[in-house]
Structure 1
Amino acid sequence: MKKLLLALTIALSATAAQAEVVNHLALSTAGSVTFTTEAAGYTQGHDVITGATGGVFGQLSATQDTALTVTFLGKEAWNVNFYIANGSEVAGTSTSVVNVGDSFTFNVAAGLIDFGFGGSSTSAAASNLTNYIGKIAYIENDGSYKDANGNPFAFLIGFNDSGSPDGDYDDYVVGVSAVPVPAALPLLASALGMFGVARRRKTLA
């Protein structure tokens, strides 16, 4: 039994070591990606994140209940692309315009974050999958790309749609940051509510 527990502990430690954690967001990597050119006339390099030449595939998780903010950083593609979260189109949609710097915030539960990208050149089946490996890349942020509060984004995420012959993962790019939702907040709200009820009853008495 002790050997089994030891083996489990080692396995969990190894898994944890593979995850990069930044500001309550954890990225478990699944291989590196080098930006490539696939047709004449396309130059290697990222048209949104200056100097980016590659990234990693992986899965993004929240280490606790979190308010996740997604900020649109730009795109190279002519296609209509957008970010999808919780089954809805956000950070740009097929019917509305999104500008560089526009941010969208929504709550996510602790664990794997369910998100994806969609657009005029992607299939619906590809949407809303955080493990959509092969279409999105996590690009290193050297600190130059910051959120509205002046803090570097936890992660930069680049999408590669099927309509572009280059593999630079700049067809739609977002930066993500997170602010944890205090676990005690719902309990505090409930306690305050009960306090109000008790005080009201005492007043009526």
Structure 2
Amino acid sequence: MNLAKSAGGKWLISSPFSKFFEKSLKKYTLKVYNVICGFFLAAICIKNETDFELNQLVCALGGRSKRVTILWEFTMKLAISAAISSLFLATAVSAASLSIVGGTDRVLPGNHNPSYAGLDPALVPTIGAGDSVKAFSGSAAGAWEPFDGTNGLHLDVASRIQITYLGEEANAENISLNKAGGSLNNNTSTPGDFIVSLDLPDWVELVFETYSADGLTFRGDIENNTAGQNDDFLSIAFYQENSKNVLAFFGDGRGDTDHDDMVVRISIVPLPAGGLLLLSALGGFAVVRRKKKA
């Protein structure tokens, strides 16, 4: 693609493939090509501080000069539609919430004492021994309500989920895993580390696995909501901080039931503000055009 300025000071694009496009590409493909050219030309005009008037932009395709005013209007309609869609998505995500369904009410015992050393004070949980949580067991033989496919931690709207490692008390290697986003390990992760994934509206995919202290021997796992599990010594307790944040306390069953062997926070976090950025960009174009006219 070659960029040149005509004698009249108009920006031109000439392409060695123009004949190919004219003969072989369908009408809507050419429209898309023209839209891309329009964006490209506008960016060049702004960068070089040339007169940003639509009637001065000319796109020469296949030997025929076409003013890009109509193409620009078409592009703007697409951009505005994308912005509206993004805003609707952002609104839906802002209304998303986490909820704990079922579980056995229990009070965290006096020996519940996870270490949050190294964690940003703003992230340290405000609950501890003496506070009430919802506890779940890894099987029907466990001490609390077992996961049966109808209970656990639930997400109501497709959202970006972040799981943050907060602290632990165990010598074992315990792993909190969001299957789509990665894993957190209390032997290798630093308090404040997190994993992120896009989750559909459903039961949150959260797995707790426990290994021997050397990390070589697998001892068992417990998965949120999944029925038919058989590791009755494992457990998860949830605490609802608010509609966007839930604490998960894991118990590895090694001689106690204090739910402090690994602690994570499950959070709904905002999507990248694409809609707002797009609207800002459109506003910027409008400001530039008004400035040049003035």
TM-score tier (shorter)? 0.5 to 0.7
8 Å CA contact 2:99, 2:240 repeated in 1 = no
CA distance in 1, matches of 2:163, 2:236: 15
Q: Secondary structure at the match of 2:185?
A: coil
Indicate which of 234, 237, 251 corresponds to 1:137: 237
Indicate which of 87, 101, 104 corresponds to 1:31: 104
Kindly state the Cα deviation for residue 180 of structure 1 after the two structures are TM-superposed.
6.2
Q: Please tell me whether residue 91 in structure 1 is matched to residue 91 in structure 2.
A: no
Kindly state the Cα deviation for residue 115 of structure 1 after the two structures are TM-superposed.
1.4
CA distance in 1, matches of 2:271, 2:158: 6
* Matched residue type, 2:269: V
Q: Please tell me whether residue 77 in structure 1 is matched to residue 170 in structure 2.
A: yes
Kindly state the Cα deviation for residue 162 of structure 1 after the two structures are TM-superposed.
2.2
Kindly state the Cα deviation for residue 61 of structure 1 after the two structures are TM-superposed.
1.1
Kindly state the Cα deviation for residue 153 of structure 1 after the two structures are TM-superposed.
6.4
CA distance in 2, matches of 1:25, 1:100: 23
Cα deviation, 1:55-99, whole Å, max 9, x if unaligned, reads: 113511111111110000100000001112227751227xx7100
Structure 2: stretches of 5+ with no match in the other structure: 1-94, 116-124, 136-150, 213-217, 227-231, 276-294
CA distance in 2, matches of 1:181, 1:89: 18
8 Å CA contact 2:154, 2:204 repeated in 1 = yes
Q: Residue 105 and residue 76 in structure 1: after superposition, are their counterparts in 2 closer, same or farther (change >3 A)?
A: same
Give the match for residue 46 of structure 1.
113
Q: Residue 155 and residue 23 in structure 1: after superposition, are their counterparts in 2 closer, same or farther (change >3 A)?
A: farther
Q: Which has the larger radius of gyration?
A: 2
Q: Residue 70 and residue 46 in structure 1: after superposition, are their counterparts in 2 closer, same or farther (change >3 A)?
A: same
Which structure has more relative contact order (CA 8 Å, sep 6+)? It is 1
Q: Please tell me whether residue 56 in structure 1 is matched to residue 167 in structure 2.
A: no
Give the match for residue 119 of structure 1.
210
Q: If each structure's helix is expressed as a fraction of its own residues, which one has the higher value?
A: 2
8 Å CA contact 1:23, 1:154 repeated in 2 = no
Q: Please tell me whether residue 172 in structure 1 is matched to residue 262 in structure 2.
A: yes
Matched-pair identity in %: 21
